[in-house]
Structure 1
Amino acid sequence: MKRFDKIVLGSIFVLSLLVALLWGFGDRQPVSVQQFSWEGKKISVTDRFFSLSLSQAIDPEFVAANFSIDPPLPGNLSWAGKDFFYTLNELPIYGQEYQLKLAAPDTATANDETLEILTSDIAIEPFLARFQSRDRAFAYIGTEGDDRGRLILFNLTQQEKSILTPADLTVLDFETYPEGDRLLFAAIPTAALNTNLDDLQLYTVTTGLNTTTTAEAEAGIGKIDLVLDADEYANGKFQLAKNGQRIVVQRVNKEDPRDRSLWVIEGSAEPRGLGIPADEFLLSPDAEVIAVSQGGQLSIVPLGRNSGAIQAKEKFTRLLAFSPDNQQQIALQETDGISSLYVLNENQEEGDRVLLRTLTPIIDCRYEPRYGQTLYCLKIDEAESLGQVVEEPFLSAIDLETGDEIPLLALPNYRDVRLSVAADGLALLFDQVVTANPTPNSDLFTENGLAVEGGRVWLLTLPELERDVEIQAVPPESLMPGFRPRWMP
C-alpha cells in the first residue's frame, strides 16, 4: 500500500472516530438564555406575558423544573421550539422587584418526582435576571399652604413628593393617562382678574413616571400643555378613556346656554360636539361607546362616526361601571325608593340579571381589578342626629356571583367621596373633605360647586375577599392633607 493511500485511510479512520464520538456524546455546549423580554423593564398590570429565547431547543419539562420567580408570580409556561412564553395568572404587585432564575439546582435538594429530570444529560448555563413592577404612586390636589389647589404626585415606593402644577393654576379635577407619564387636569387660571368656574380649561402635565432614564424623568416633570380653552364654551365634567385615546367633556355655550352638549376630543383633532346633553356619563374602557344619563334614563351612545345607533335602556337610571375586559356593565335602577344593581352582559345569551336590591342609595361602584369577582360600592345610609337626618356614606364589597354584600368601612360624612382602587387591587384611596357654601373669596371647589375648606387623603388596605373566610376590618391610614386622590395606573 502506498504512503498516500495510508494517509487517506488514516484520515478516514480519524474522521469516522470523531463522528462516532459526536454521535455518541452529542453537543456538550451548555444551553444558555439568549433573550429575556422583561430584563431591566418596569412592568404594569397590562403586561401579561414574557418570553425567553434559548440557544437551542430542549425538553420543556427541564425548563419548567428549573424555572423560578421570586417573589412568586403565578402563571403558565408554554413553548415553541427554543422560545418559551410565561403567561401570568395574576396581576403583578406594584413597588416590587422580581428575580427570574433558570439554573439546575443541587440534586440533593430535588424531590423524587423531579430527580430524573434534574439529573438528565442537559447542561444549562445559569441565568439570573431582575425586573420591576411600576412604583406605587398616586396624585391628588393639595388643600393647605403652598400646595392648595395644586396637582401633586406622591410616590409611595420612593417616598417622594412632586408638585406638578404652578401656583397660578387652581386644579379642580384630573385623570391619568394609561402609561402614567401624563395627567389630564381641569384648572382655573387664577392669574387673570375675575376668574370663575366658567373659565375652567383642560391641560396635560407630565409626571416623570415610567421613563427610561433618570435624566428623562427629572426633565419631564411638570411640563404643561393646553388641551381645551374656555373662550366660547364653559367646560364642566370630563373623562379620559382608559386607553388615553378619547376625552369627553360637558360644554355650555357662554352666549347661548341652550347650546349644551357633550364634546369629544380625539388625539390632536379639533373637538367636536355630539349634540347630546348629559347629567352623568361614563366612557367604556375601549372608548368606543359612552353611557349617558339624562333625565333619569340611560342611553348607550357609540362614538365612532359610523358605528351604529344609540341604544336606549330606559329602565335604568345610569351606568356605574364597565368591567376591565369590557364584557360586563353594572347598571343602576332606582324605583320607588329601591336601588337595584344589574349586571349587563355583552353576550346576549346570558342576559341581564339582578345583582342586588336595597333601600340604601348607591352612589358609585368600582370593579376589583385583581380577580374581577368583586364590586366595591359606595352607599349612603341615613341616620337621625339631633332631630336632623344625616347622611352616612359607607363602603361595601359585593360578590358578583352571589350578590352577597360585606360592609368594609364607614366613610366621612361627605357624599362626594372620591374612591380610587389601585391598579393591582391591593389598596383603596379616598378623601375626607370639609365643604361650605362658596363666597367671593372661595378659591377651591368640589364637583358640585361647594367651596373646599380642607381635606385629607386616606389609604385603606383591601382584604382578601375569599368565600367562607371572615373579613377582618382594617382601619384606614391617614396620609396627608388633600382631596380627589387617584392611583397612577
Structure 2
Amino acid sequence: MAKSKTFIQPLDRMAIALMLLLSLLIGFMILQGDAVSARVRNFSWQNQQIGAEDISFTLNFSRPMDTKSVEDNLKIDPPLAGKVSWAGRRMVYTLLTPAPYGTNYQVKLQGAKDKFVQQEGKNRVIQPFTGSFRTRDRVILYIGANPEERGQLVLYNLTQEQKRVLTPKDLVVMDFEPFPNGEKILFSARTTNNQDLLSAQLYTVTTGISAKFGEQAEPAAKVDLILDSKDYQNLKFDLSPDGETIVIQRGNRANPGDFGLWFMSATSHNSGEKPTLKRLQSQPGGDFMITPDSKAVAVAQGQGAAILPLQGDANKPLDFLPQFGLVQAFSKDGSQAAMVKFNTDYTRDLFLVTNQGVQRQLLKTTGSIINCQFDTASPTLYCLLTQLVSKEQYIEQPYVVAIDLKTAQQKPLLVLPPEQRNVQMSLSPDGLGLLVDQVVPQPNPTGSLPENMLKTDDGDAIATSSLWLMPLLPIADAATVEIRPEQLPLVGFRPRWLS
C-alpha cells in the first residue's frame, strides 16, 4: 500500500507565519512592559466660551493617573481657585467662584505621572497638555438718555469698547430683561407719539451675540412684537430664569376691576406660532417675581407673600409667608430669599429666609429697600436702600450696602445724593462689578414735552442720567482697600448686565 503524503498549502504557511509573528510581538510587548504613555484625551472646555453658570470642567485621561501628581502639576493661567474630584480616569475641577468675564484662559498639565508605571518603578510622565477657553465679554445694557439715543435700548461691550443701538427711534423703551443666553432681550415700550405710560407693548430684540463660541449669531436689532396692549394694559413683566416663560401683570382697559397676572411661553413665537396667553387664577396681587426653578411666582398678596404655581391651581399657594410683604430677591439655587417686612411705625426690615425655615433679620431702615441681589461668587447680599433724612419734606438718601450673610456684617459701598430717588442697581454675573445709574430729573418742565421724553416710574421727566461702575471686592478685602466708582462715558439709565 502506498504511503500517503501530507502537503502544506500556501494558505497554511501564511497562517503559521502570522501566528509566529504575533507570538513574537506579544513576547516583545511583555518584555518591554506597558509602553503606552498617558495623555489627556478630552478637555470639556477646549476652545469654548463659558459664563457664570459654567462651574466645572473635566479632563479625561487615556490611562489611570497618579492623582496627586496631576493636582500638583495642573496650572490655570490666569489662576482660578477650585477643588478637584476623581471618578476613575476622569478628573473634575469645580470653580469656587465664577470665572471673571472678558478673559482668555490656558490650562496646562505636564510632569504628571502614570499610576501603574510609577508603581513598577518607572518614571514615565504624561504627554504635555495645553488647553484654552475664554469667558464671555463684559456687556451691559441701558436705556439711552442723550438726544441721539433717547429712549432706545443700547448695548455696550466693555471688553471690546463697542456700542450698538438695538431698538428703533419710534419706540421708547420702558423696561427690559435679557434672556439667559444673551441672544435676545425682552422689553416693554410705547411709541414716541403716545405719552401714555400704560400703553406699553412687549417685544423681543436680538443682540447680535451668540451664546456658543464660534457659532453665527442672528443679526442684531431684529425686533418682534409678542404682546399688544389693545384690550389690556401691560403693567409689569418678569422673564423666568430658564427663559421659557413670561409673567405679565395686566389690567383690563374696559374694566378696571379686572386686574391680575397672566403668563405665556417666551419661545413659541420663535417657531412662528402665536403665543397662548393664560390667566393665573388667583387673587390680585402686587409686586411679583418668578422663582429660580421657573415653576412658580412669588406675589405680594394681601398681608403676606404667596408662592403660586404656574401650572395647576394658583388658588392653592405652595407657600404663604404672612409676616413678609415682599420678596426682594432669590439666591440662584433658590435656597435663600431676601424678604421685606413692613412695620407699623413705617420702618422696613430686611430678612434672610431659607428653605430650612430660618428667618434672620439683616437690617432695618426708615426709608425704602429698592433692590437686593445675591452674589454668586460669595455669601454676600448687595442692597440698594434709602434712609429718611428729612421727615418734614420726606427726603430719602440712597446708598448701596454689602451684607455678609454669614456674619450679618454690613459694609457701606456708595452714598448717593438725596435728590437721586430714581436709582437702579445691577450686579455683574461674575460678582466683580456693580452698575448704578444717577437720574437727573427735568426741573419744572414747561410747554409741550418732546414725543420721546423719558419719564421715571413716578412719572417725572428725565433730563439726563449717568452710569457708574463700581469694582467689587470681598467684604474682608474691602475693609482695607478703598474702592471708588468710575463714571462710564455713557448717558443712560436702568443699567443691566448681560449674563
* TM-score, scaled to structure 1: 0.87
Question: Could you tell me how far 1:80 is from its partner in structure 2?
Answer: 3.0
CA apart distance, 1:398: 1.5
Native 8 Å contact 1:235 1:251 kept in 2: yes
User: 1:63–1:393: structure 2 CA closer, same or farther, 3 Å change rule?
Assistant: same
Q: Is the contact between residue 296 and residue 318 of structure 1 (CA under 8 Å) also seen in structure 2?
A: no
Contact 1:321/1:366 (8 A) holds in 2: yes
Deviations 1:335-387 (A, max 9, x none): 12332222222124xx323233344543322112211x1111122123349x8
The one of 392, 397, 403 aligned to 1:398: 403
Distance 1:420 1:328 in 2: 19
1:141 to 140, 143, 158: 143
Q: 5 Å matches for 1:334-345?
A: 334-335=342-343, 336-345=345-354
Superposed CA deviations along residues 263-322 of structure 1, whole A, max 9, x for unmatched, are 112232411122443331122122222221245632222222258822332221211111
The within-5 A match list for 1:353-432 is 353-371=360-378, 373-384=379-390, 388-412=393-417, 413-432=419-438
> How many residues end up aligned between the 2 structures?
465
Deviation of 1:208 after TM superposition, in Å, equals 1.7
Deviates more, 1:333-342 or 1:129-138: 333-342
1:287-306 alignment runs, 5 A limit: 287-294=294-301, 297-306=304-313
User: Is this contact kept in 1: 2:56–2:94, CA < 8 A?
Assistant: yes
Identify the residue that residue 111 of structure 1 maps to in structure 2.
none
- CA 1:163–1:361: 2 relative to 1, 3 Å: closer
**1:254 Cα offset (Å):** 1.1
Aligned to 1:113: none
CA contact (8 A) 1:355 1:402 kept: no
Deviating more after overlay: 301-310 vs 197-206: 301-310
Match of 1:331 in 2: 339
Instruction: Work out the percentage of aligned pairs sharing the same amino acid.
Output: 38
1:169–1:338 CA distance, 2 compared to 1 (3 A): closer
Matches of 1:209 and 1:19, distance apart in 2 = 56
Letter in 2 for 1:321: A
1:160 Cα deviation from its structure 2 partner: 0.6
Quick one: which amino acid aligns to residue 495 of structure 2?
Answer: P
Cα 1:62–1:167 change in 2 (3 A) is same
Deviates more, 1:272-281 or 1:255-264: 272-281
Map of 1:101 onto structure 2? 108
Counterparts of 2:31 and 2:395 in 1: how far apart (Å)? 86
1:153 corresponds to 2:155? yes
Q: Is 2:442 the counterpart of 1:433?
A: no
Q: What's the CA shift for 1:464?
A: 2.0
2:237 paired residue number: 238
Q: Following TM superposition, by how much is the alpha carbon of 1:408 offset from its aligned partner in structure 2, in angstroms? A: 1.2
Distance 1:194 1:398, change over 3 A: closer
Match of 1:447 in 2: 457
1:66 & 1:340 partners in 2: Cα distance?
A: 50
Deviates more, 1:317-326 or 1:9-18: 9-18
Secondary structure at 1:238 match in 2 = strand
1:28, 1:123 within 8 Å by CA — same for their partners in 2?
no
Q: What secondary structure is seen at the aligned counterpart in 1 of 2:72?
A: helix
CA contact (8 A) 2:324 2:340 kept: yes
| Counterpart Cα distance in 2 of 1:194 and 1:364 | 29
CA–CA distance in structure 2, aligned partners of residues 419 and 464 of structure 1: 18
Helix, strand or coil at the partner of 2:476: coil
Shift of 1:196: 2.4
* Corresponding position of 2:11: none
Q: How does 1:14-413 map to 2 (within 5 A)?
A: 19-104=26-111, 120-190=122-192, 193-194=193-194, 196-212=196-212, 216-217=216-217, 219-267=218-266, 268=268, 269-275=275-281, 276-294=283-301, 297-306=304-313, 309-310=316-317, 311-335=319-343, 336-348=345-357, 351-371=358-378, 373-384=379-390, 388-412=393-417, 413=419
Q: List alignment gaps of at least 5 residues for structure 2.
A: 1-7, 9-15, 269-274
The 1-side partners of 2:335 and 2:75 are apart by 33
Q: Residues 145 and 361 (structure 1 numbering): CA distance in 2 closer, same or farther, change over 3 Å?
A: closer
Mapped to 2, the partners of 1:321 and 1:200 lie a distance apart of 25
Match of 1:462 in 2: 472
* CA distance in structure 1 between the partners assigned to 2:293 and 2:39 by the alignment: 40
Contact 1:134 1:210 in 2 (8 A): no
SS of equivalent to 2:494: strand
Q: 1:486 aligns with which of 469, 473, 496?
A: 496
Q: Secondary structure at the match of 2:342?
A: strand
Q: 1:285 to 1:440 in 2, by over 3 A?
A: farther
In 1, the alpha carbon distance for the partners of 2:277 and 2:324 equals: 29
For residues 233 and 298 of structure 1, what CA distance do their matches in structure 2 show? 25
- Conserved 8 A contact 2:63-2:89: yes
Aligned counterparts of 1:256 and 1:144: Cα–Cα separation in 2 = 38
Return the alpha-carbon distance in structure 2 between the equivalents of residues 388 and 396 of structure 1. Answer: 25
For residues 440 and 93 of structure 1, what CA distance do their matches in structure 2 show? 47
TM-score by length of 2: 0.85
Letter of the structure 2 residue corresponding to residue 330 of structure 1: A
For the structure 1 residues 286 and 471, does the alpha-carbon distance in structure 2 shift closer, same or farther, using more than 3 Å as the test? Answer: farther
